[in-house]
Structure 1
Amino acid sequence: MHLFITLTPQKELELPVHYNHLVQAAVYGTIDPELAVFLHDKGYESGSRRFKLFTFSRVSGRFEANRDKNTLRFTGDVSLTLSSPVNDFCQSIANGFLTRGQIRLGSHFAEVKAVTVRQFTVRGEKVLLRTLSPVVAYSTMRRLDGRKYTCYFQPGDPDYSGLIENNLRKKYQAFFNREAPPGEVKVRKTGNLKMNLVNYKGTIIKGYSGLMELTGPTELLQMAVDGGLGGKNAQGFGCVEMVVSGNEQF
């Protein structure tokens, strides 16, 4: 389920260029405290992996970049999209926004102007997705000296689809507590993709944004739409919206 939030800043909204952690803090501060503790400390488990099963978009609106301060100054209303397969999360975040009437982003406050809810339903085994925040696919590896490092992949790399599929299967198992249906997930870029480098609390994360076509089991495609595509979703990556699905022509 997707929630589209329209916000009216009380003053001009000025955010650091890398603001994901501020939106994440606003999400945890808006939902029910018990749910926030569960998601932050535990989440949904699949083996050794834990998933928050929510994601969010970039902040969208007219802005001016200040290179000297490394900030973005938004003018007028801004919008934010959140998505999750967890009904309790969607209900809690919607109630929180509407009840509080405002959210805090860093040192700035914005009034909640509107909350719109939409369920994108995947029909069939093919879907075209538009990214609302960069999609991240990565693997942790070891150097010869034993130190770990993170290797990021892009659509078209030999391991990319496999990483996306494995991530979706684990999310599905964590949420439904059963094995995901059989079938291979394939990711194909449609048109040009943009590489994005995001500094999240001192860590540089590489992701890609644009249009992506996914084929595979309907249930896993639905998880991608609702729970996010790729990794690091709760940090503001992999939020997508469905363009067309099933037998519709791309």
Structure 2
Amino acid sequence: MQLVLNIQLEEPLVLPMNYNHIVQSIIYRALSVMPDYAEFLHQSGYTSGKRQYKMFQFGQLQGHYKMADRKFIFDTEVSLEIRSPEPLLINLLVDSFYRNGIAFGKTTYRDIYMEIYDYTIEENHIVVQMKSPLTVYSTDEFTNNTYYYNPQEEVFFDAVNSNFYRKYQAYFGIAPCSPIRISKVENENCRKFVTKYQGSYITAWFGKYDLSGQRKYLDFLYQTGLGAKNAQGFGMFELL
């Protein structure tokens, strides 16, 4: 399911360049209308081995803005899209935002127009463009150093597929019976994106990609996101 929030700003919304953690905290705070569920997602979520998945994603904030002192200043309105394969999560967000508004810091915005969609992927092959950047990585278990892959490396696409396997198994309790296939659209460049999330730098990539596989697997990825760190604002795509 998809939830699109259109927030009318009574006063300008000022956010740091690295605002993903702020949006994520808004989502968790809204889910606290059902405390047990919010705690489940925040503490563990859906697991596959040592990996934890929250099963939601959000895109970048959209709206007219200007930059000043390395901050975004949205002036009249801002929109945000949230997706999840879990209807309960979307419905809890709608209920919370309707009752309590959306608080950015000390300012609560209550003039919110919410749109709920249940769009599904119905094809076995799609061409997509990233709405929020795609990231995959590995962490050395001895040094704890993290290496972020890039689309020039074949392992980048292998890592996206491995992430899909684990995420699908975590949510449904069974492994997918076939892989997805992902590749960069020919003659298209990917744009590097580096941001800081709670003290750590994350490298990710915008771009256009070919995706193929069973329809239900592509639909699952549309709801949950491609690659890693979906609940931190990475991996949302749109169809071309």
Q: Find the aligned partners of 1:187 and 1:86 in 2 and give their Cα distance.
A: 28
> Is 1:62 aligned with 2:64?
yes
Structure 1 residue 184 displacement after superposition? 4.2
TM-score w.r.t. structure 2 length? 0.92
> Is 1:231 aligned with 2:233?
no
Worse overlay, 44-53 or 233-242: 233-242
Q: Which residue in the other structure is 2:6 paired with?
A: 6
> Is 1:90 aligned with 2:90?
yes
**What are the Cα deviations for residues 7-60 of structure 1, in whole angstroms up to 9, with x where unaligned?**
112311100111111101100111232221110011011122110010111111
Q: Which residue in the other structure is 1:157 paired with?
A: 153
Structure 1 residue 94 displacement after superposition? 1.5
Amino acid in the other structure paired with 2:202? I
Answer whether contact 2:165 2:179 (CA < 8 A) is retained: no
Answer whether contact 1:3 1:117 (CA < 8 A) is retained: yes
Structure 1 residue 156 displacement after superposition? 3.6
Q: Find the aligned partners of 2:17 and 2:202 in 1 and give their Cα distance.
A: 14
| Consecutive aligned runs of 4 or more in structure 1 exceeding 6 Å deviation | none
Q: Which residue in the other structure is 1:41 paired with?
A: 43
Q: Which residue in the other structure is 1:202 paired with?
A: 199
SS of residue in 2 equivalent to 1:78: strand
The CA RMSD over aligned residues, in Å, is 1.6
Q: Find the aligned partners of 2:183 and 2:106 in 1 and give their Cα distance.
A: 39
Q: Find the aligned partners of 2:210 and 2:106 in 1 and give their Cα distance.
A: 39
After TM superposition, list the pairs within 5 Å mapping 1:1-250 onto structure 2: 1-31=1-31, 32-66=34-68, 69-100=69-100, 102-141=101-140, 146-189=142-185, 191-243=188-240
Answer whether contact 1:98 1:112 (CA < 8 A) is retained: no
Structure 1 residue 165 displacement after superposition? 0.7
Q: Find the aligned partners of 2:192 and 2:169 in 1 and give their Cα distance.
A: 30
Q: Find the aligned partners of 2:18 and 2:30 in 1 and give their Cα distance.
A: 21
SS of residue in 1 equivalent to 2:38: helix
Residue correspondences, number: 237
Amino acid in the other structure paired with 1:86? E
Q: Find the aligned partners of 2:3 and 2:237 in 1 and give their Cα distance.
A: 12
Instruction: Describe the shift of the 1:210–1:186 C-alpha distance in structure 2 as closer, same or farther (beyond 3 A).
Output: closer
TM-score w.r.t. structure 1 length? 0.89
Q: Find the aligned partners of 1:30 and 1:183 in 2 and give their Cα distance.
A: 35
Structure with more of its chain in strand, by fraction: 1
Instruction: Describe the shift of the 1:34–1:242 C-alpha distance in structure 2 as closer, same or farther (beyond 3 A).
Output: farther
Q: Find the aligned partners of 1:107 and 1:197 in 2 and give their Cα distance.
A: 28
Q: Find the aligned partners of 2:108 and 2:207 in 1 and give their Cα distance.
A: 30
Answer whether contact 1:140 1:151 (CA < 8 A) is retained: yes
Amino acid in the other structure paired with 1:181? C
Structure 1 residue 76 displacement after superposition? 0.9
Q: Find the aligned partners of 2:225 and 2:111 in 1 and give their Cα distance.
A: 24
What's the % identity of the aligned pairs? Answer: 29
Amino acid in the other structure paired with 1:147? T
SS of residue in 1 equivalent to 2:133: coil
